[in-house]
Amino acid sequence: MSVLRVSEAARLLGVSDDTVRRWIDAGRLPATRTDTGRWIVAGVDLAAFARELADAPDGGDGTVSARNRLDGIVTRVVRDGVMAQVEVQAGPFRIVSLVSREAADELGLEPGSLVAARVKATSVMIDRLGEAL
C-alpha cells in the first residue's frame, strides 16, 4: 500500500499543503500521524477523495460527455488565418489546444478568460511514479 505525505497529496490534487491539512482536520480526507507527527494519507484514500472531488457538482449543465474537465485561465492565444493556439493554466497543468480561429473569436478567448478545458481521448498513456515514503 502506498502512502503519501501531505505535500505529495497536495501536488497530486493541485492544491496547497494547507488545503490538504484543512481537509484532514475537517475529517474529509482520512489520514494518520507518523511517529514523528507528520500526516500521511493512504494512496487508496487519496484516490477515493480525488474521485469525490471530481464528481462534485461544478455548476455545469451536465450536457457534455467528457469527464475530464480542468478549469483554468487562458494565458496566451496565438491566431493565424484559420487556427488559434490557446494556452490554459489549470492548477499546475499547462494545456495547449488548437481550435479554429472562428471558435476562438466566437468564445472571445483572450489572456485572462476563465475556461474549462475538457479532454477526451481514445488513448491515454500512464507512467507509474516512484513509491512515496
What residue spans define the domains of the chain?
Answer: 3-55, 68-118
Q: What is the grid cell recorded at 9?
A: 497529496
Q: Is the pLDDT of residue 59 over 60?
A: no
Phi, psi torsion values for 62, nearest 5 degrees: 75, 15
For domain 3-55, the question of CATH label 1.10.1660.10 is answered with yes
Q: Is domain 68-118 given the CATH code 3.40.47.10 in the classification?
A: no
Q: What is the pLDDT of residue 92?
A: 77
Query: Which among 49-58, 86-95, 96-105 has the top mean pLDDT?
Result: 96-105
| pLDDT of res. 93 | 81
* pTM listed for this prediction: 0.53
Q: Is the pLDDT of residue 66 over 60?
A: no
For the chain, the C-alpha Rg in angstroms (whole number) is 18
Confidence of residue 64 (pLDDT cuts 50, 70, 90): low
